[in-house]
């Protein structure tokens, strides 16, 4: 199954930069010249702002120890805290997020001590974004809400818009798209009113992102291009690269692959130039996914390894999760299911850790102090009550002594009886513990088996063609695929070799895991015969498939019936001629109300019959604009249901297809699914169901 990568937005402004009154050539010259005063600290801070804007984070980190030591000795701690915050920002942008968070926290303490509200809000904002980069969303949202409260109080509009924008991003990452859109639009309105182009570019891109996920590609493309032009206007290379990446995804969905790859490579070039690790990881991963779809697995592996290296270097946990998910898909497409499973297992481990690792700690940090104070007050109250009750208890104790003597005598007899009962209970407890232990072992094994089956479903889904591939080859089409279990014994195939479209539906022996294994074998053999061998003749496809199934499963005896019923149809788009060959499954055609049933052969692929005893023959047919073609497994007609709990039967299914054949294909699918669901009612599904319908 083709997988489209999500567009992860990692660029957000984390700092509102004020204008500079003057520039200084070197921080080092000021530090070495004399003892610092407040004016010197202001100049150093403004120069640090310029270095942040220029992306010169290394210079700030290089001088951080000397700058912080010197500014900490000033009476006015404002400039010490300001410098700390910018040092934290430089560390954050170079991947040292844990150290950045520690410095932000120190700066916040100073801001609160000297009662500088604007600086306090900036620190909360920086803490929020650093936690967001580490996917600690609970900690991030608490910090952002503190920043919003302060910025609304002091009417700090543009920084308020930045924080609203970032809160929207967290809602997006938590799949609350409507809440995310509300915050992005609110931020966009503020930026537009203030004519702040940098913020307007970011929020506009984010609005496009939400419409993209809503499926409104026209609006998404409009906002992405607006963001691209705004970023070009202010020469914001981070934003330009991000807009190019997002536009590349739109062109990818439009099948304009040359433009898509051109935009991605340009974004990669910009992100490399400015050392934007988040952007580099995203570009490498998207290029790897495109190479995978194009069948260039070697190049896909090289690109995804680069993405993994960048995620590790930049401490990007969310990027690393997506990278290993992509690596699993690449290995699955290559047929290397062992490495695909290992990559997916590591992906699942990272994902679980990210979702749940920090939740308890962040909630304790936000609410722990208040809870402790309440508990202390409660304990004091309980102590006072205990003292009042103590005197009443003393006389009760004297009375109780007399009662205890009596109870001792009675207890002797009770204890003797309990000893005997405990012996019996101990024996029962040992047996119960053994039963519980066996139950836990069985549950653990059951969970392992379920996890493996779910992953098998992912692999099976990866090899089935997507609905969009049917839409690209046929005027109309539908795919009705309803497995009985997690994985299916039915599968379908669609491929185009030059001017010939080959469509196949197969019903393998059994269902669930055994059927799924047989379907994977069938898919791989068809890939060898059709895709690699360029064979498009239905009868020859079945002849070679039957031989390979016998050969692969050692079918030299009559004791095994593993195999599949299958229908193969080839459409020659240049001659408007087609051919059908079936082994146990029919082809149904309907043209202007007239239905024809081509039964094919009664024997199956594989099974106990020797390949040399089977003769596969094609049934030719003409292709017309009004003719519809249907392939189906036996799961639909074999389903029990209705008022009397009987089978649906083939005749009723054919009558249903004939009745609905004049409807559009998607309406036909809807009717077939509703009919099947109504017929089945509360009964269990008995077999896998697959029905394909197309019109050229």
pLDDT tens for 516-546 read 888 888 999 999 999 999 999 999 999 999 9
Do the Cβ atoms of 559 and 546 come closer than 8 Å? no
Q: What confidence category does residue 670 fall into, taking pLDDT thresholds of 50, 70 and 90?
A: very high
Q: 111-125, 322-336, 401-415, 469-483 — which is least confidently predicted?
A: 401-415
Q: Given this model, what pLDDT does residue 378 score? A: 47
d(CA 79, CA 67): 10
Residue 491 has pLDDT above 80, yes or no: yes
Do the Cβ atoms of 37 and 268 come closer than 8 Å? no
Q: Given this model, what pLDDT does residue 355 score? A: 58
Residue 554 has pLDDT above 70, yes or no: no
Tokens of 31: 């530090």
Cα-based angle 494, 248, 302 (whole degrees, multiple of 5): 75
Q: Torsion over CA of 199, 201, 207 and 209, rounded to 10 degrees?
A: -120
Q: Given this model, what pLDDT does residue 373 score? A: 41
Residue 403 has pLDDT above 70, yes or no: no
Tokens of 177: 């798209």
Cα-based angle 395, 396, 397 (whole degrees, multiple of 5): 90
Residue by residue, DSSP assigns 416-453 as HHHHHHHHHHHHHHHHHHHHHHHHHHHHHHHHHHHHHH
Residue range 64-114, pLDDT digits in tens: 665 666 666 666 688 778 878 888 888 888 889 999 999 899 989 988 998
DSSP state, 76?
Answer: -
Q: Given this model, what pLDDT does residue 325 score? A: 92
The sign one gets for the Cα dihedral 18, 19, 24, 30 is negative
Q: CA-based diameter of the chain, in Å? A: 110
Q: Give mean pLDDT, residues 152-157.
A: 91
Residue 598 has pLDDT above 80, yes or no: yes
Q: Give mean pLDDT, residues 234-249.
A: 91
Provide the percentage of residues in the chain whose pLDDT is more than 90: 52
CB atoms within 10 A of CB 438: 10
Decide: helix, strand or coil at residue 500: strand
The CA–CA distances, whole Å, from 484 to 488, 491, 529, 689 equal 7, 13, 29, 7
The CA–CA distances, whole Å, from 105 to 111, 132, 415, 632 equal 10, 15, 62, 64
Residue with tokens 């004020």: 18
End-to-end CA distance of the chain: 23
Q: What confidence category does residue 485 fall into, taking pLDDT thresholds of 50, 70 and 90?
A: confident
Q: Given this model, what pLDDT does residue 447 score? A: 66
Q: What confidence category does residue 374 fall into, taking pLDDT thresholds of 50, 70 and 90?
A: very low
Nearest to 568 by CA among 587, 549, 550: 587
Q: What confidence category does residue 560 fall into, taking pLDDT thresholds of 50, 70 and 90?
A: low
Nearest to 24 by CA among 45, 10, 4: 45
Provide the percentage of residues in the chain whose pLDDT is more than 70: 78
Q: Given this model, what pLDDT does residue 606 score? A: 86
Identify the H or E element spanning 173. Answer: helix 157-173
Q: Given this model, what pLDDT does residue 287 score? A: 94
Rounded to two decimals, what is the model's pTM? 0.44
Q: Given this model, what pLDDT does residue 28 score? A: 47
Q: Given this model, what pLDDT does residue 683 score? A: 94
Identify the H or E element spanning 115. Answer: none
Q: Torsion over CA of 419, 422, 427 and 430, rounded to 10 degrees?
A: -130
Q: What confidence category does residue 11 fall into, taking pLDDT thresholds of 50, 70 and 90?
A: very low
Q: Torsion over CA of 392, 395, 396 and 397, rounded to 10 degrees?
A: 120
Q: Provide the angle, in degrees to the nearest 10, between the axes of the packed helices 277-293 and 297-313.
A: 160
Q: Given this model, what pLDDT does residue 323 score? A: 92
The CA–CA distances, whole Å, from 6 to 9, 172, 293, 370 equal 9, 12, 15, 40
Find all residues with CB under 8 Å of 1, minimum gap 6, and list them. Answer: 461, 462, 463, 464, 466
Find all residues with CB under 8 Å of 537, minimum gap 6, and list them. Answer: 570, 579, 618
Q: Give mean pLDDT, residues 348-374.
A: 51
Residue 9 has pLDDT above 60, yes or no: no
More confident residue, 76 or 258: 258
Q: Which residues pair with 605 in a beta bridge?
A: 564
Do the Cβ atoms of 681 and 641 come closer than 8 Å? yes
d(CA 622, CA 632): 20
Q: Which residues pair with 493 in a beta bridge?
A: 504
Residue 454 has pLDDT above 50, yes or no: yes
Q: Given this model, what pLDDT does residue 19 score? A: 34
d(CA 88, CA 130): 10
Residue range 616-668, pLDDT digits in tens: 999 999 999 999 999 999 999 999 999 999 999 999 999 999 999 999 999 99
Residue with tokens 């120190």: 106
Instruction: Give the mean pLDDT of the chain.
Output: 82
Q: Torsion over CA of 652, 654, 658 and 663, rounded to 10 degrees?
A: 90
d(CA 87, CA 77): 15
d(CA 430, CA 484): 41
The CA–CA distances, whole Å, from 27 to 41, 68, 80, 582 equal 10, 12, 15, 81
Q: Given this model, what pLDDT does residue 390 score? A: 53
Q: Given this model, what pLDDT does residue 468 score? A: 86
d(CA 490, CA 565): 9
Q: Given this model, what pLDDT does residue 638 score? A: 94
Q: Given this model, what pLDDT does residue 414 score? A: 75
Decide: helix, strand or coil at residue 92: helix
Helices of type H across 94-216 = 97-113, 117-133, 137-153, 157-173, 177-193, 197-214
Residue 393 has pLDDT above 70, yes or no: no
Do the Cβ atoms of 685 and 617 come closer than 8 Å? no
d(CA 548, CA 545): 5
Residue range 192-213, pLDDT digits in tens: 999 999 999 999 999 999 999 8
Residue range 114-135, pLDDT digits in tens: 899 999 999 999 999 999 988 8
Residue 394 has pLDDT above 90, yes or no: no
Q: Provide the angle, in degrees to the nearest 10, between the axes of the packed helices 277-293 and 237-253.
A: 20
Number of helices (H), then strands (E), in the chain: 23, 13
Q: Which residues pair with 491 in a beta bridge?
A: 506
Helices of type H across 234-296 = 237-253, 257-274, 277-293
Tokens of 82: 């300001």
The CA–CA distances, whole Å, from 370 to 282, 363, 367, 376 equal 41, 12, 6, 10
Could you tell me where the beta strands, DSSP code E, fall in 439-586?
Answer: 476-482, 490-497, 500-508, 563-572, 577-583
């Amino acid at each position: 199954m083709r997988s489209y990568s999500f567009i992860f937005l990692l660029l957000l402004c984390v700092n509102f930069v004020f204008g500079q009154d003057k520039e200084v050539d070197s921080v080092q010259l000021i530090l070495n010249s004399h003892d610092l005063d407040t004016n010197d600290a202001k100049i150093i801070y403004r120069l640090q702002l310029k270095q942040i804007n220029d992306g010169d984070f290394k210079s700030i980190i290089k001088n951080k120890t000397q700058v912080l030591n010197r500014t900490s000795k000033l009476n006015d701690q404002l400039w010490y805290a300001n410098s700390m915050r910018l040092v934290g920002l430089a560390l954050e942008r170079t991947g040292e997020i844990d150290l950045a968070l520690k410095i932000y926290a120190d700066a916040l303490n100073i801001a609160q001590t000297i009662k500088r509200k604007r600086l306090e809000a900036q620190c909360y904002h920086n803490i929020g974004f650093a936690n967001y980069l580490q996917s600690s969303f609970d900690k991030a949202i608490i910090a952002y809400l503190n920043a919003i409260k302060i910025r609304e109080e002091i009417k700090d509009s543009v920084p308020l818009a930045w924080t609203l924008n970032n809160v929207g991003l967290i809602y997006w990452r938590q799949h609350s798209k409507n809440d995310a859109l509300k915050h992005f639009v609110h931020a966009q309105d503020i930026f537009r009113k203030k004519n702040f182009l940098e913020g307007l570019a970011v929020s506009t891109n984010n609005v496009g992102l939400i419409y993209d996920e809503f499926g409104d590609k026209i609006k998404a493309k409009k906002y992405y291009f607006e963001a691209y032009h705004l970023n070009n206007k202010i020469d914001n290379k981070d934003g330009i690269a991000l807009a190019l990446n997002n536009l590349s995804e739109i062109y990818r969905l439009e099948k304009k692959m040359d433009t898509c790859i051109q935009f991605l490579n340009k974004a990669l070039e910009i992100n490399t130039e400015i050392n934007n690790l988040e952007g580099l990881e995203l570009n490498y991963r998207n290029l790897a996914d495109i190479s995978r779809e194009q069948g260039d697995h070697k190049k896909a592996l090289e690109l995804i390894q680069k993405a993994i290296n960048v995620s590790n270097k930049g401490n990007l946990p969310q990027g690393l999760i997506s990278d290993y998910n992509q690596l699993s898909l690449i290995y699955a497409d290559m047929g290397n299911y062992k490495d695909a499973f290992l990559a997916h297992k590591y992906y699942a481990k990272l994902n679980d850790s990210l979702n749940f690792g920090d939740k308890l700690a962040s909630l304790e940090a936000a609410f722990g102090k208040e809870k402790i104070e309440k508990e202390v007050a409660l304990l004091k109250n309980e102590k006072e009550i205990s003292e009042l009750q103590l005197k009443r208890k003393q006389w009760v104790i004297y009375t109780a002594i007399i009662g205890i003597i009596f109870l001792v005598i009675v207890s002797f007899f009770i204890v003797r009886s309990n000893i005997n009962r405990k012996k019996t209970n101990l024996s029962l407890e040992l047996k119960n513990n053994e039963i519980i232990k066996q139950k836990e072992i069985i549950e653990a094994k059951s969970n392992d088996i379920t996890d493996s089956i779910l992953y098998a479903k992912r692999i099976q889904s990866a090899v089935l063609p997507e609905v969009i591939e049917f839409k690209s080859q046929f005027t109309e089409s539908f795919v009705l695929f309803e497995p009985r279990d997690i994985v299916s014994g039915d599968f379908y195939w669609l491929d185009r070799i030059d001017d010939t479209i080959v469509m196949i539906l197969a019903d393998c022996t059994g269902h669930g895991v055994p059927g799924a294994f047989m379907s994977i074998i069938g898919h791989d053999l068809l890939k060898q015969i059709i895709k690699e061998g360029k064979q498009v003749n239905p009868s020859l496809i079945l002849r070679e498939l039957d031989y390979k199934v016998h050969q692969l499963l050692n079918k030299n005896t009559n004791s095994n019936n593993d195999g599949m019923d299958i229908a193969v149809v080839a459409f020659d788009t240049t001659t408007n001629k087609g051919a059908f060959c079936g082994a146990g499954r029919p082809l149904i055609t309907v043209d202007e109300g007239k239905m024809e049933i081509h039964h094919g052969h009664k024997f199956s692929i594989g099974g106990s019959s020797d390949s040399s005893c089977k003769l596969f023959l094609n049934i030719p047919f003409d292709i017309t604009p009004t003719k519809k073609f249907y392939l189906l497994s036996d799961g639909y007609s074999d389903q029990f249901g209705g008022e009397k709990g009987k089978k649906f039967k083939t005749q009723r299914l054919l009558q249903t297809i004939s009745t609905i054949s004049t409807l559009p294909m998607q309406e036909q699918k809807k009717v077939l699914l509703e009919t099947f669901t109504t017929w089945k009612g509360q009964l269990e599904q008995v077999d896998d169901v697959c029905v394909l319908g197309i019109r050229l």
